[in-house]
Structure 1
Amino acid sequence: MNTPDDRPHDLLLAVDGGNSKTDVRLVRPDGSEVRRAVGGPFRPQALGVPAAMAVLDALVERVLGTDVPTPDSSAAVDRVRGIGRVHTIGKVRGIAAFLAGADLPEEIATLQDQVEARGWADEVYVANDTFAVLYAGSARREGVAVVCGTGVNCVAVAPDGRTATFPGLGWASGDWGGGGDLGRAALWWAVRAEDGRGPATALTEAVTAHFGRPHALDVVLAIHRGEVSDRRLAELAPAVFAAADRGDEVAWLLIDLLGDELAAMATSAARRAGLIEPEVLLGGSVAAAGHPRLLARVQERAPGPVTIVTDPPVAGAVRYAVGRWGADVSVPTGA
């Protein structure tokens, strides 16, 4: 039997749809959890909006279903494929969905329409997943958040609600950073060390060992032929940190470059939002690894004190949902 706070219209949905995974929480108005579901990445730009929404469909149906089957059950597989019907507990009060790929205004509008069309909630709020890190890390819900995971992005929010963002479209929009770019750079230097165009580096052995190939060039060819996904290059980030710890100068160079890029994004966003010495929040798996050289480099060049966000990004989505529709009215609703 449901408690009074577990009636459908009293509940809230919080979503963090990231490049590595999608995290959905069903919570009460005070933020306490009712159910959760975690699934694959939300990648509308790479896989298309229908494929990305299929991931979210399956997870929301799991947390709203009266009977939640195990992930490997036939019912769960049927729901992912869109087969059959699932009895749900009903429409909730609101859903806050912070989604990767919600970068440009038209992309945000498309995803907003997609979520609204599902009829999961009375009210829907969609924003880029970078905002989730900001809300997860800042009690005041302001400052600068830099996400450095598979990719990189940044947002700044001022006390008066002004925001500064980036297009977040990768290399073409001036972005460099995250595990993907760090891994591609490690492979680049490994190949150059192997053929003599660059200095010797421990990254050559790290690359070949990680992919189980005799030469770094073999990894390049495997990616070129479609035998290995280039997304796996993000897996090399820990190897870059490990090589730096052993004194590898190329690894130092890459970590310093990453730190400079994160600080540059934070500085630009803070300036455009009119923030002076703001709190700079670092989120994402690469930043959360907390490598001392990377953190020192960012702190040296950032526009304000740097803190690593240890709470998962979905906690920021919960905080926003509770602030907008639940018990905490201190969360701004316009950011």
Structure 2
Amino acid sequence: MTGGTVGAGEDAPASGVVVAVDGGGSKTDAVALTLDGELVAHRRGPGSSPHFEGLGASVALVDGLVQHVAGEHPVAHAGLYLSGLDLPLEIEQYAGAIAGLGWAARAVVENDLYALLRAGTDAPDAVAVVCGTGVNAIGVRADGAVVRFPALGPLSGDWGGGSGLGEAVLWHAARAVDGRGPDTVLVEEIERRLGVASVPQLIEELHFGRRDSSELTALAPAVFGAARAGDGVAIALVDRQAEEIAAFARASLTRLGLLDRAVPVVLGGGIAQSGDERLLDGIRVRLAEAAPRARLSVVLSAPIVGAALLSLAAAGAGTAALERARAAVAAAAAEAAVLVP
């Protein structure tokens, strides 16, 4: 694995806890574990993506979570897997920003896609695609080759996730209201879900900064419900999302030369995990056209499970410890999802 390593030349202490952090656009999970895989503490906080929060705010949030879960224990190793660290420079900047923190002497900084990938598979050849707030992917090969994407939104050719779907809903609704586009039940969904009297009112409030465009992500679930009810606009959006996810996987396999291999392709993120049949069937059909032996699956385990496994392995934990940690962290994350959705 590539990534930013802080204080790599120092020996790890003989005792202490291993801390793992998985940070996304909407939430951040942190766990502390013993080297035997026993869960010491788990804490969930708000999103920590430096793309959305800024570098300083992200570091402050992660620092607080690490200190909370570590408590009085020294940190033998810390693995930080965060969304928004898509370019090598961003990883270097983050590693530099945490370098002065007491627990960061033995830390690895990487993109959260590694955590999703490890939560879904330990295969040496594999691809992971996340479709949550945004979309991104990673592909790895047994010889160490890695495929990554800038994931900078429209600037780098990305579309979809909760953010992209929400913006598309408003785009189509605006055209439906003024007659430029077909009618769609998504107009009523906007009014109901965002509590506005009309689509033009929402557009005005967004334009003058009285509301934030991030609120549009709340519209994503409406797309799948409307598609199941037969709404033509919603159906087209679901199909477009399926094509975008398949395109990430297809491109990863192509660049790694693995199109003819039985490679696991794991999907994560709220959109992918919604279980929508049209979306998943669409991805499966499109991917099979280029990579008929690819094995598509949805990762139901929280990415913090993968972050914990990667961090423990980096600290030298054995197989039994990894299995113990998988069960304990998965249970803690599931409980947190109920208490703090």
Alpha-carbon deviation of 1:329? 7.0
Output the CA distance in 2 between the equivalents of 1:95 and 1:281. Answer: 25
| Partners of 1:222 and 1:267 in 2: CA distance | 39
Corresponding residue of 2:308: 318
Q: Which residue of 2 aligns with 1:180?
A: 163
**TM-score (structure 1 length as normaliser):** 0.86
Partner AA of 2:311 in structure 1: A
Q: 1:119 Cα deviation (Å)?
A: 2.4
Given that 2:273 and 2:299 are in contact with CA atoms closer than 8 Å, whether structure 1 keeps it comes out as yes
Q: Whole-Å Cα distance in 2 between the matches of residues 36 and 239 of structure 1? A: 32
Q: Quick check: 1:41 aligned with 2:24?
A: no
8 Å CA contact 2:17–2:70 kept in 1: the answer is no
8 Å Cα contact 2:123-2:264 kept in structure 1: no
Q: Give the partner amino acid of 1:308.
A: V
**Partner SS for 2:271:** helix
The DSSP-based 3-state class of the residue aligned with 1:159 is coil
Q: Distance in 1 between matches of 2:17 and 2:268?
A: 27
SS of 1:9 mapped into structure 2: coil
Paired residues of 1:15 and 1:314 also in contact (CA < 8 A): yes
Describe how 1:80-95 pairs up with structure 2 within 5 A. 88-90=72-74, 92-95=75-78
State the partner residue of 2:273: 288
* Kept in 1: contact 2:33–2:41 (CA 8 A): yes
What is the one-letter code of the residue matched to 1:47?
Answer: E
Deviation at 1:182, TM superposition (A): 0.5
Partner of 2:30: 24
Question: Of the candidates 223, 231, 241, which is equivalent to residue 240 of structure 1?
Answer: 223
2-structure distance, mates of 1:196, 1:155: 41
Q: Is the 8 A contact 1:134 1:141 kept in 2?
A: no
Shift of 1:112: 1.4
| 1:327 maps to which of 292, 317, 334 | 317
Equivalent residue, structure 1, for 2:332: none
1:53 corresponds to which residue? 59
The alignment status of 1:298 with 2:289, answered yes or no, reads no
Summarize the Cα distance change of 1:218–1:45 in structure 2 as closer, same or farther, 3 Å threshold.
same
Equivalent position to 1:112, from 95, 103, 112: 95
- Alpha-carbon deviations, 1:44-63, whole Å to 9, x = none? 12332111111112211211
Of 187, 192, 199, 2:175 maps to 192
Q: Is the 8 A contact 1:8 1:89 kept in 2?
A: no
Shift of 1:121: 4.5
Give the match's secondary structure for 2:100. Answer: helix
Take 2:180 and 2:44, find their aligned partners in 1: how far apart are those partners? 44
| Alignment gaps of 5+ in structure 1 | 1-6, 66-87
What amino acid sits opposite 2:278 in the alignment?
Answer: R
Aligned partner of residue 213 in structure 1, secondary structure: coil
Assess if the C-alpha contact under 8 Å between 2:76 and 2:315 holds in 1: yes
- Does the 8 Å contact 1:30/1:326 carry over to 2? no
Task: Report the Cα distance in structure 2 between the residues aligned to 1:219 and 1:285, rounded to whole angstroms.
Answer: 25
- Look up the SS of the partner of 1:300 in the other structure: helix
Q: Give deviations 1:147-184, integer Å, cap 9, x for gaps.
A: 00011100001122211000111110111110100011
One-letter amino acid matched to 1:105: P
1:255 aligns with 2:255: no
Q: How many angstroms apart in 2 are the aligned matches of 1:246 and 1:169?
A: 33
Q: Cα distance 1:142–1:36, how it changes in 2: closer, same or farther (>3 A)?
A: farther
Residues 59-102 of structure 1: per-residue CA shift (max 9 Å, x gap): 1121122xxxxxxxxxxxxxxxxxxxxxx322x22111111121
Aligned partners of 1:207 and 1:236 also within 8 Å = yes
Cα RMSD (Å): 1.8
Whole-Å Cα distance in 1 between the matches of residues 295 and 85 of structure 2? 28
Question: Do structure 1's residue 163 and structure 2's residue 146 form an aligned pair?
Answer: yes
Distance 1:43 1:320 in 2: 20
DSSP-derived class of the 2:43 partner: strand
Work out whether residues 158 and 274 of structure 1, in 8 Å CA contact, stay in contact via their aligned partners in 2: no
CA distance in 2, matches of 1:234, 1:8: 45
> Residue 210 of structure 2: which of 211, 214, 227 is its match?
227
Are the aligned partners of 2:16 and 2:73 in contact in 1 as well (CA < 8 Å)?
A: no
Give the aligned partner of residue 18 of structure 2. 12
Between the aligned partners of 1:195 and 1:123, the Cα distance in structure 2 is 58
Distance 1:197 1:177 in 2: 23
Give, in whole Å, the separation in 2 of the partners of 1:99 and 1:116: 16
Work out the percentage of aligned pairs sharing the same amino acid.
40
SS of 1:34's equivalent in the other structure is strand
Contact 2:191/2:199, CA 8 A, preserved across alignment: yes
Count of equivalent residues:
302
Query: CA distance change for structure 1 residues 8 and 213 in 2, over 3 Å: closer, same or farther?
Result: farther
- The whole-number CA distance in structure 2 between the counterparts of 1:214 and 1:272 is 48
Residue 117 of structure 1: SS of its match in structure 2?
coil
For 1:310, what is the secondary structure of its paired residue?
A: coil
